[in-house]
Amino acid sequence: MNDLQRFYINGEWAEPQGKQSLVVINPATEQAFATIRLGEQADVEAAVMAARSAFESYSQTSKESRIALLEKIIAGYSERIEDLAQAISSEMGAPIEFARKVQVMAGLGHIKVALSLLKKNDFAKMISTTKVIKEPIGVCALITPWNWPLNQITCKVAPALAVGCTMVLKPSEVAPLSAHIFAEILHEAGVPAGVFNLVDGDGAGVGSALSAHPQIDMVSFTGSTRAGRLVSKAAADTVKKVSLELGGKSANIILDDADFEKAVGRGVKGMMSNSGQSCNALSRMLVPESRLAEVEAIARKAVVSVIPGDPQDAKTVIGPVVSEVQWNNIQALIAAGIDEGAQLLCGGLGKPEGLETGYYVKPTIFTGVDNQMTIAKEEIFGPVLCIIPYKDEAEAIAIANDHIYGLSGSVWSSDLERARKVASRLRTGMVHINGAMVDGRAPFGGYRQSGLGREWGMHGMEEFLEVKSMFGYDAS
């Protein structure tokens, strides 16, 4: 049992004021493997005041010193890749190879990008006789989810450290172990006391207190759209900056001239990756109505390789979903799809055969889905794909855009120019053309109820900066 019942505040592991403990469950075994303490207002106050006190000096540190600090963090992180991978596999059920090669490396990538950008930027320019500078926004509250724990922590912490901000991190109470290891890495790297602080807790107890705190200058939140609304409301009274990365129900448009074997096969496997627990998952596959039967045959063949199982088994492709609550939510949505008349191509209700222990979901594909069905409208956050037929290109674009979300999307076509034109018509923050992967140097974020602001790369770094004009800086 991992005892995580201390918070990292002002450069040391401190005894929390909050007395309530929470047991953390391994979703593959349904057994407790760690215990955390839930923070309360006094813990938030201590962490915020530590960050506020540290901001005065840390915001004035040299670029060279922050470069050296990020380099030490990268070195320390690299030494603990296996610890981090095992933590993620235990806390949210990621297959160990996926945890090592994807989950953990995504986090390392964000720190390296922040270092590269810091080296190349002075955050200042002249406009006529005015000097315009970008400087750290201040004390930041960073609230992160369980599905990509290190990815979401590092894409906030790394740019904030790089530009000179101080911060309080509230990681997900469902997946706290990797966050505690990350705090150890920062401590060993020599992050000054108070610059980085960690307080465990839930949204109601710690998240809302951070969002409303008058000494917090910015909140960067990743999670559900419902929780994002609460963060925005809590932050409104103090008019602090809020950056939100929220839900998605992204469309994967496969045009009639695409390579169907490749596009459909990769679409199925990509949707199932991470057990479907990704906000940018391409969960709506839009295909030509005239070729629906062909698509269904390819999808059936592709899903066979999506093997659920023990996260510690190297052959496992997807592990369990993160919790019993999540499993129940997914089951209810699968039932809704069946009740509303969608055709079940594979999978369905219940657990996969032989996996009665653990929160495992059958890799599930619905076909003949209408865009107004519950399974097409709700973010399922599980290994459930909806195949939606369309009559022509115009209807495909209309279906893709007919949604409250606008996080990601995809277009497949043998004609690159055609794919580009369709991509330009999608009202979404990101589009993958012909299976292109994400780029950690490019902005990540969405339109509409998928959030506000951007993460990753320079756009993500600028979220942690304020802009100042110094008029008459050049007296000549």
- The model's pLDDT over 180-238, given as tens digits with 9 standing for 90+, comes to 999 999 999 999 999 999 999 999 999 999 999 999 999 999 999 999 999 999 999 99
pLDDT at 28 > cutoff 90: yes
Contacts of 22 (CB under 8 A, 6+ apart): 35, 36, 37, 38, 173, 200
Q: Give the model confidence (pLDDT) of 386-423 as tens digits.
A: 999 999 999 999 999 999 999 999 999 999 999 999 99
Which amino acids are annotated catalytic? 245
459 shares a domain with 351: no
Q: Over the chain, what is the mean pLDDT?
A: 97
Give the whole-number percent of the chain exceeding pLDDT 70. Answer: 100
Q: Is residue 273 part of a domain?
A: yes
pLDDT at 127 > cutoff 90: yes
Q: Is residue 475 part of a domain?
A: no
pLDDT at 476 > cutoff 80: no
Task: Specify the pLDDT at position 1.
Answer: 79
H helix intervals, 194-291: 208-212, 225-236, 260-272
Do residues 318 and 312 lie in contact, with contact meaning Cβ atoms separated by under 8 Å? no
Tell which residue, 276, 255, 183, has the closest CA to residue 415: 255
Q: Give the model confidence (pLDDT) of 78-106 as tens digits.
A: 999 999 999 999 999 999 999 999 999 99
230 shares a domain with 298: no
Question: Could you tell me the residue range of the domain that residue 336 belongs to?
Answer: 251-440
Task: Specify the pLDDT at position 126.
Answer: 96
Q: Give the model confidence (pLDDT) of 352-398 as tens digits.
A: 999 999 999 999 999 999 999 999 999 999 999 999 999 999 999 99
Q: Write the CATH number for 267.
A: 3.40.309.10
Tell which residue, 464, 457, 405, has the closest CA to residue 429: 405
pLDDT at 18 > cutoff 90: no
Do residues 136 and 165 lie in contact, with contact meaning Cβ atoms separated by under 8 Å? yes
Task: Specify the pLDDT at position 33.
Answer: 94
Q: Write the CATH number for 19.
A: 3.40.605.10
pLDDT at 41 > cutoff 90: yes
461 shares a domain with 422: no
Contacts of 189 (CB under 8 A, 6+ apart): 69, 72, 73, 75, 76
Q: Is residue 476 part of a domain?
A: no
374 shares a domain with 236: no
Structure tokens at 337: 């799809």
Q: Whole-angstrom Cα distance, residue 413 to residue 469?
A: 46
Report the 10 Å Cβ neighbour count for 137: 22
Structure tokens at 287: 């295909």
Q: Give the neighbor-by-neighbor strand order of the sheet with 432-433.
A: 343-346, 364-367, 384-390, 284-288, 251-254, 409-412, 432-433
